Amino acid sequence: MQSAAQTASVSKKKLWAGRILSALPVLLLLFSGVMKLMKPAAVVQGFAHFGYPESLALGIGVLELACAAVYVIPRTSVLGAILMTAYLGGATATHVRIGDPSFFIPVILGVLVWGGLFLRDDRLRALIPLRT
């Protein structure tokens, strides 16, 4: 949970906007991670399409779930954002490597990760003071 001092200085509008922006990439990573653990045919085909062996699905799925979990815990959210950014950077590189035009999706998710965290976390706003 956030400390009283941290939530007191964040307006309710910023806090909720940040939570909503943060929820989108978290939900997508949770869905993707669970799908990789279940390994339906679409996931197996996707791994073949991107040139990854199916045996990596379990590890990547666990990694996605762990990154999302670290990000949603307020005390570790900055570390979670760094981990999610690294994961999404790898996803972007994978899409670019095969010439997939949807490479921008993980980039947008990375922007949402940091934008949501910026709105809901005073520590990050203190590090990156944008003028209003």
Tens of pLDDT, residue by residue over 68-87, are 999 999 999 999 999 999 99
Give the pair of three-digit tokens for residue 110: 């990375």
Q: Does 82 fall in a domain?
A: yes
Q: Does 47 fall in a domain?
A: yes
Residue 53 carries which DSSP code? -
pLDDT bracket for residue 6 (50, 70, 90): very low
Q: Does 107 fall in a domain?
A: yes
Q: Does 7 fall in a domain?
A: no
- Distance (Å, whole) CA 104 – CA 45: 21
Report pLDDT digits (tens) over 32-50: 999 999 999 999 999 999 9
Total domain count for the chain?
1
Domain hosting 65: range is 12-127
Identify the CA nearest to 81 among candidates 128, 41, 131, 34.
128
108 and 116 in contact (C-beta within 8 Å)? no
Q: Does 4 fall in a domain?
A: no
pTM of the predicted model as reported, rounded to 2 decimal places: 0.85
Q: Does 55 fall in a domain?
A: yes
